[in-house]
Structure 1
Amino acid sequence: MSVTDRYLTAWEGFWSETSDEQGDAIWDSDPCLSAALHLDLLAPYADRALPVVDLGCGNGTQTRFLAGHFARAVGVDLSRAAVEHARRADPQALAEYARLDLVDAAAVGALHERLGDSNVYLRAVIHQSDPQDRAPVARAVARLAGHRGRAFVVELREAARDVLAEVVQGPGGPPDKLRRVLTHGLRPAVAADGEVSALLRSAGLEIYAEGRTELAMTAFHPDGRRIDLPAQWFVAGRP
């Protein structure tokens, strides 16, 4: 099983047209506004001697931050172009990067065999995945975490749609960074509230902690306010 050609083409197209400049992708926020905050929430539950796997790593900005806090960091992404971005941005090889289709259970299993139980970082992947792919992605989180790893999952809430609609309908239309996302057929904030927690539990994970937050974007409202999208976070692991 694998993602659809449409979905793969959308991501390859997006990353192929994205520059190496940090922040060029709308979600490529500085780690101090993203992974650093999330690590504070995960840390009480995670064994940092285990590797950390950043699922949907994109250009690796958050992966490189996580590499400084875990024994080993691996960033994986569906898009080969994204993985190439990540490698170029990491000349010191602080982390490792590889292409991985999270829907491909055999490939996910092979990564687990190579790394063993790992901590998992999943930022805003389920919410824009095709509906039939969301359960396999949750199962990939569970498989990679195994019995000893812990997962931090953060996804957009439905309320993010209202924020995005405001931006799209504003003077001049959406900013270029958001326009590129929409042009490639990527659909943010399409998962319903409650769906992510249900998917994690169905994958065999227990939710240890959860809460609400916002995901900082690298684009701004016409009045200069940064676009912050309502989100929900979970720390999960095997019971």
Structure 2
Amino acid sequence: MLWDSDSPAERKQYTDLVLAHFDPSLPVIDIGCGNGTYTRWLATLFPTVLGIDVSAGAVARATREARDIQNCSFTVLDATKADAGDLLLEQMGPANVFVRGVFHVLKPGKQAALAANLKTVVGKTGRVFLAETNFPGNSLDYLAGLGATSDHVPSQLQRALENLPRPGRFGARERRSVFSETDWRVIADGPVNIDVVPMNPAGQLQRVPGYFALMAGAHLPTAEPNLTHNHPPLH
């Protein structure tokens, strides 16, 4: 899978932020978990982690690959459905949420629906951490940056184009339109590197410019004792 890079360098960008701002007494929900690569990583940091994905095949694979990990589980769920937030809240209680590479493939209506469900899930104590691709060029530039040419498309990229919606960009502007200031407070945001499965003959690391945001419900107090504020851009 194109996005399943399992990159320690990318995870390292996120570790300090989630450890500093995710309340460890709350479960963590990995939205759009795919085969569970990041769910398994989160399970090394937090006591209880649930991965959800709309694909039954992805969840089945994730379950197999995490069969020896006791503190993570998986379930099939479309997180953009109207009742998904209520279902997760009933199952898990208030939770922290991790989202990597989901919003940039959703249309605006689905993005808004997912954000509304996340608001339900995090309640008064949870946090949302998201990381999304934010490529500055057009779609052709984006594909070329991933290795596509006029007469060749790498196999991993071809499979992604066949099975997923066309990727877009999701940066600060898009976040502001989806996560309103009325409902959300941004704790930290900025640039980040999204690593993809290498598609060059040498197997060299390939990165896509991205954007991260760490958010809480707007009803929460501004002060957060013992937590880091205004985190510098991730590199």
Deviations 1:99-148 (A, max 9, x none): 11112231321211221111100001011012321101111222211110
Structure 2 counterpart of 1:66, one-letter code: L
Q: 1:203 to 1:181 in 2, by over 3 A?
A: farther
- Residue in structure 1 matching 2:101, options 113, 124, 139: 124
Structure 2 counterpart of 1:99, one-letter code: V
TM-score (norm 2): 0.83
Q: 1:39 to 1:142 in 2, by over 3 A?
A: farther
Deviation at 1:201, TM superposition (A): 2.4
Deviation at 1:32, TM superposition (A): 1.5
- Aligned partners of 1:126 and 1:155 also within 8 Å: yes
Question: Distance between the aligned counterparts of 2:169 and 2:12, measured in 1?
Answer: 26
- Consecutive unaligned residues of structure 2, counting only runs of 5 or more, are 219-235
TM-score (norm 1): 0.82
The 5-angstrom pairing of residues 21-40 of structure 1 reads 25-40=1-16
- In structure 2, the residue matched to 1:215 is 194
- Residue in structure 1 matching 2:27, options 20, 35, 51: 51
Q: 1:188 to 1:224 in 2, by over 3 A?
A: same
Higher helix share: 1
Deviation at 1:30, TM superposition (A): 1.7
Q: 1:203 to 1:126 in 2, by over 3 A?
A: farther
Question: Distance between the aligned counterparts of 1:65 and 1:192, measured in 2?
Answer: 24
Percent identical residues: 30
Q: 1:203 to 1:226 in 2, by over 3 A?
A: farther
- Residue in structure 2 matching 1:77, options 53, 65, 68: 53
- Which stretch shifts more, 67-76 or 194-203? 194-203
Deviations 1:13-70 (A, max 9, x none): xxxxxxxxxxxx1111225233442122222222112110000000001101101211
Q: 1:69 to 1:203 in 2, by over 3 A?
A: farther
